Structure 1
Amino acid sequence: MKPTLRQDPVLLLSLGAALLLLLLTVAAPLVAPYDPAAGSLDSRLLDPGTAGHLLGTDGQGRDVLSRLIWAARSSLVGGLVPVLLATVLGTLLGIAAGLGGRLTEQGLLRSLDVLYAFPGVLLAIAVATLLRPGLGATVLALSVVLTPAVARVGFTEVRRIRTAEYLEAARVSGAGALELAVRQVLPVVAPVVLVYASSLVGLAVVYAAGLSFLGLGVAPPTAEWGAMLDELRPALLTHPWVAVQPAVVILLVSVLFNTLGERLRRRLGDSGAQLPAVTR
């Protein structure tokens, strides 16, 4: 018998932590103790635990805790929005490939394979390089990277059910392609795709931070975890406990969303659906 949600403490803790993180992000102006852009040269690189600065200050004297809290906005937007866009676009492409004719199926799949053949990091860098650095470049680049994987999952699920008797009955009753896709196929495919997409959030957060670290994403002075890591890099040898904090936050958030996605994948897997591992 499949355990209920209450009997899965790891999933409950992951959901609670994710909701708390999102709430903290929304409430950043109320929670952050200082203005993230306000610094003082007299307070440069203070160690964690310094009075008034729990996590210390950066090279410009800005409070690290405040910047980490505010940076969650840019970092999570860079992680969540591309996954959302890839989920919508990938689902549509997967359904189109699964319900279309042989030519449509092969055309869409081979086109997606071209993108999927590139390592995710290199593809994200290539797309972001063509755009003006900023949050928009991060969102677009990561959407391009993640869409082929989501489309593959959607197509696989459509292929599994496209010969089902209820779909044949709907065709015989005169249902058109659009009606068939929206009323019969989408309700079956959507839960599988959404659970798979939840596994991509942690990966997207890391990629977004990486683009900012390379100067291709969110640029200083805007607070963003990857950009903060780049700014604090020169202090790694002299003040390591200050410099590594953005990296620790990126790691923890990635683990959080990966754990959440994996628990959801397991619950869906118990119902018989098969989901591929996240390899991008």
Structure 2
Amino acid sequence: MRRRLLPRLPVVLPAVLAVLLLLLAVAAPLAAPDDPAAGHLQDRLLDPGSPGHLLGTDGQGRDMLSRLIWAARASLTGGIVPVAVAAAAGTLLGVAAGLGGRVLEQALLRSLDVLYAFPGVLLAIAVATLLRPGLGATLLALSVVLTPAVARVAFTEVQRIRTAEYLEAARVSGAGPVSLVLRQVVPVVAPVVLVYCSSLVGLAVVYAAGLSFLGLGVGPPTAEWGAMLDELRPSLFTHPWVAVLPALAVLLVSVVFNTLGEALRHRIGDTGARLPEAVR
């Protein structure tokens, strides 16, 4: 029994931590000790460990622990939703390019290469700049950034299996294109995309925080880790322990999801789905 459990531990630990982070975000109204928007100027910039404020307060006297917990909602939404959209859209485009013939393949891949040619950060900033700042701009910008990379991963996997004997057998037996894709191709491509996308969540959270830090994403008074970093930036040299807390939250989420992605990759097998340059 012990031997069976040991190989699973590298996957179980980051998976449990990821679930706990999600539960914390969902249960923010119950988990947060104070109102994240209620400030008291007489209590501004208290250090961690102050009475009644375990992690101190920000420049407006708002409880940092409460704001960090509430900020997990916006920050994790900005990380998970774009990855889910990119997973669906990228898989669809990758499968279509892999099975749709030479003309469709070249049309889709060359179109994606236009987006793929830009560094991910700059592309996210460019898309977000065209939109009204807010969570919607963050979700759309990151979806555009991540989709080409996921499509390449899906396309590479489809290329590997499209001449497989079981696909030829399915075609000969009369399986239509939709049935072929849903029953034969997607079950093979989905685990590869899942493993790859699990490691993209941490990257998306970092990007979302960066957009909010630049004023292109979620802005005050909504609690969001990137926006909190921007608000606390003037206090970095006078109250560094308070100012770095949102950055530590972003770091924690990034490490958890990157570790989960690596653990899944080793658990399922090395799929070759490595992080493309365009989204590094």
TM class by shorter chain equals over 0.9
Give the drift of 1:169.
1.3
AA at the equivalent of 2:86 = A
Q: Give the distance between the partners of 1:218 and 1:181, measured in 2 at CA.
A: 38
Asked whether 1:26 is paired with 2:26, we answer: yes
Contact 1:269 1:275 in 2 (8 A): no
Is contact 2:201-2:254 (8 Å) kept? yes
Q: What is the CA–CA distance in structure 1 between the aligned matches of 2:5 and 2:150, rounded to whole Å?
A: 25
- Structure 2 SS opposite 1:174: coil
Contact residue 34 and residue 66 of structure 1 kept, 8 A? yes
CA distance in 2, matches of 1:8, 1:210: 34
Matching residue of 2:275: 277
How far does residue 4 in structure 1 lie from its aligned partner after superposition? 5.1
- 1:50, distance to aligned residue in structure 2 (A): 0.3
TM-score by length of 1: 0.96
SS at structure 2 position matched to 1:75 = helix
In structure 2, give the amino acid aligned to 1:148.
P
CA distance in 1, matches of 2:53, 2:128: 35
Instruction: Please give the secondary structure, in 1, of the residue aligned with 2:30.
Output: helix
The Cα shift of 1:178 comes to 1.6
Aligned partners of 1:277, 1:148: CA distance in 2, in Å? 12
5+ residue gaps, structure 2: none
Provide the residue aligned with 2:67 in structure 1. Answer: 67
Matched, 1:139 2:122: no
- C-alpha change, 1:4 and 1:149, in structure 2 (3 Å) is farther
Q: Give CA-to-partner distance per residue, 1:64-104, whole Å, 9 cap, x none.
A: 00000000000000000000000000000000000001000
List runs of 5+ in structure 1 lacking aligned partners: none
Q: Percentage identity across aligned positions? A: 77
Maintained 8 Å contact 2:11/2:267 = no
Query: C-alpha distance in 1, partners of 2:71/2:38?
Result: 14
CA deviation string 1:89-122 (max 9, x = no partner): 0000000000001000000011111111100000
Size of the aligned set, in residue pairs, is 276
Query: For 1:31-78, what per-residue CA distance to the aligned partner results, in whole angstroms no more than 9, with x for missing partners?
Result: 101000000111111111100000000000000000000000000000
Q: Which amino acid aligns with 2:245?
A: Q
Residue type of the alignment partner of 1:275: A
Q: What root-mean-square deviation, in Å, do the aligned CA atoms of Structure 1 and Structure 2 show?
A: 1.2
Q: Name 2:149's counterpart in structure 1.
A: 149
Structure-1 separation of matches of 2:240 and 2:99: 55
- Structure 1 runs of 4+ aligned residues shifted over 6 Å read none
> Could you tell me how far 1:274 is from its partner in structure 2?
2.5
Tell me how far 1:5 sits from its aligned partner. Answer: 5.8
Shift of 1:278: 5.1
Q: Is the 8 A contact 1:54 1:65 kept in 2?
A: yes
